[in-house]
Structure 1
Amino acid sequence: MWRGSSRTATSRPKRQSRGGPDSSKTLFIAYKTGFKSGGFGLTSPLQTGTRIGDTDFDSEKARGFEAGAKGLFLDGRLRVNVAAFAYKFTDLQVNTYDPARVAYTINNAGEVRQRGGEAEVNYAPFKALTLHGAIAYTHNRFRNFVGQCYGYAFPTGTVRATATAPANCSFVNATALTLQQDFNGRAPARSPDWAGNGGAEVTIPLGAYKLAVTGDAFYSGSYYAAETMAPSTLQRSLWRFNASARVAEIDDRWSVSVIGRNLTNKYYLLYAADRTGGASVPGAISEQRGVIARGREVALQLSGKF
């Protein structure tokens, strides 16, 4: 019953939606910090050439902001998440491999600054079809970090006065042939600027059973697979594709699936490092050893619930 006014309830003006946060929409902003303890890391057996600098490392710290929004739209059929972030990592802990001494060491990079954003969408235009996609831009860059150069063999008889350092590297001083690399302004290894994925799932009822077909595409921008960023370890941008088909009872008591991964048989570098023993060809960059992603895989999967 309308009280306190001579107007009837039907004459009351309608409330206009402001489109702000409510039970299905959220805005957020956060300041976050992180900490990873320093210490000693014996990543390879102790040797006569092991130095204290090979095993000790400082604490790593991170701090920064995130802001974004999440929401459900179209009666819950559309879900959207977006976020932007800015972080700074101080004394980032990085692994370094010394092929001449066959030893891994843990070191600290001066600083890594991270800026970026990401978006994720899930949409079900109708009951049988679901679409999804995500994209992320992550601008990671070193600051104030001079580290290891990749392996390089100088020709016999080379002296410092006439020697030329390989690409992106320089000499530690004016007398020795020891190399270093300035990583300032460069992205860390295995850190592409762009990454994303998209796909769909179709579910078709078949009486007491159902058929579900999925397809997904994944994109990665280019990156160096080795911590030393040896030129030969540059992995160029790539796409890979997965798909599956699944037959199951409506209540999912049992199912039979055929699953395909990396269907285009794309081989790409996951990790790389200088070959053990160092460079062997004078005047050339060290050979690299790497870990390659698996090629095409097709699997048959049976599952049941009891």
Structure 2
Amino acid sequence: SASGFEAGAKGLFADGRIRANVAAFAYRFEDLQVNTYDPSRIAYTINNAGEVQQRGVEADGTWQATDGLQLRGAIAYVDAQFKDFVGQCYSYAFPTGTVRATAVAPANCSFVNATALTLQQDFEGRAPARAPQWSGSAGFTYETQIAGFGVAVTGDGFYSDSYYASETMAPATLQEAFWRYNAGVTVTSPDGRYSAQLIGRNLSDENYILYAADRTGGNSVPGAIGEQRGVVARGREVALQFAAKF
């Protein structure tokens, strides 16, 4: 179940050349189901998180600086935290012969009881996986005419704060903050029927992690955190596209 509120405002300024939106929100998700991959069983398990609190502010806007130049930007701050949630620890292999009396749990994990080597993890106050605290973007579009042909140039930068790519928040799955950039050029025929586009995506070739989980098959080197497997975003892409209207 979810409960909360959202309040915001939209505005037009400078004879409509500036558009701005801002919103603040606060939500509470109770009895949230969290899927976690179990590498030993080679299966996903469902864990019940007592609660997730989410509070934040979002703002975005555009500015028609000139007839041909438009600037845009957006920013978001989201503070999301688990409440009352003890779940699965990431994969960890204890050395052969380790006994509970002398065993030391890996970072952020603890033992479920005083006799077993089974691990758990308290997520109280921590953000869910893939939930950056800050994110935003900034970009522009410039349009002009050259010898009767329409020319449009675009550029955008996207920012993401750091986040864990894995639900178990294994240290190796921490994705540091990063920027990625897109750009493009479009040329349109004088009659508007034909166009050609040169498109560049992720031009900074940022290899950021989209998703990660413990390696299938269980633990790895004794005394070490298990290997992680991740899905990495597509790298730099450049495409040439043509279009015709009939």
Give the TM interval when normalised to the shorter protein.
Answer: over 0.9
Residue 89 of structure 1: aligned partner: 29
The amino acid that maps onto 2:74 is A
Out of 146, 164, 168, the position equivalent to 2:108 is 168
Q: Does 1:192 align with 2:132?
A: yes
What's the offset of the Cα at 1:280?
A: 1.9
Letter in 1 for 2:226: S
**Greater strand content:** 2
- Residues 18-49 of structure 1: per-residue CA shift (max 9 Å, x gap): xxxxxxxxxxxxxxxxxxxxxxxxxxxxxxxx
Cross-structure match for 1:298: 238
1:121 to 57, 61, 72: 61
Distance 1:146 1:119, change over 3 A: same
1:67 aligns with 2:67: no
- Partner Cα distance (2:190, 2:139) in 1: 23
Q: Distance in 1 between matches of 2:152 and 2:61?
A: 20
Distance in 1, matches of 2:183 and 2:191, equals 22
User: Are residues 1:158 and 2:74 paired?
Assistant: no
Secondary structure of 1:232's aligned partner: helix
Deviation for aligned residue 1:109: 1.1
Give the 3-state SS of the residue equivalent to 1:126 in structure 2: coil
Q: Which residue of 1 aligns with 2:189?
A: 249
Aligned residues: 246
Mapped partners of 1:208, 1:92: distance in 2 = 57
Separation in structure 2 between the aligned mates of residue 191 and residue 254 of structure 1, nearest angstrom: 41
* Match in the other structure for 1:227: 167
**Distance change (3 Å), C-alpha of 1:74 and 1:139:** same
CA distance, structure 2, for counterparts of residue 81 and residue 250 of structure 1: 35
Task: Quote how far apart the aligned CAs of 1:76 are.
Answer: 1.1
Structure 1 Cα separation of the partners of residues 241 and 117 of structure 2: 57
Alpha-carbon distance in 1 for matches of 2:32, 2:170: 20
Looking at CA atoms only, which structure, 1 or 2, has the larger radius of gyration? 1
SS of 2:172 mapped into structure 1: helix
**Residue aligned with 1:294, SS:** coil
Deviations 1:156-182 (A, max 9, x none): 011111111000000001110000000
Q: Which whole-Å deviations, capped at 9, do the CAs of 1:257-278 have from their partners, x for residues lacking one?
A: 0000111111111100000011
Please point out which of 152, 164, 178 is paired with 2:118: 178
Corresponding residue SS for 2:136: strand
Task: Report the 3-state secondary structure (helix = DSSP H, G, I; strand = E; otherwise coil) of the residue aligned with 1:156.
Answer: coil
Moved over 6 A (4+): none
Q: Does 1:280 align with 2:220?
A: yes
CA RMSD of aligned residues (A): 0.9
Amino acid at match of 2:171: P
Q: For 1:200-250, what per-residue CA distance to the aligned partner results, in whole angstroms no more than 9, with x for missing partners?
A: 000011243210000000000000000000000000000011100010135
Q: Tell me what 2:154 maps to.
A: 214
Deviation at 1:252, TM superposition (A): 3.4
**Structure 2 residue runs without a partner (length 5+):** none
Moved more, 152-161 or 251-260: 251-260
CA distance in 2 between counterparts of 1:173 and 1:235 reads: 32
Gaps of 5+ in 1: 1-60
Where 2:65 maps in the other structure, the secondary structure is: strand
Q: What is the TM-score with the length of structure 2 in the denominator?
A: 0.98
Report 1 or 2 for greater relative contact order, CA contacts < 8 Å, sequence distance ≥ 6: 2
**Deviation at 1:100?**
0.4
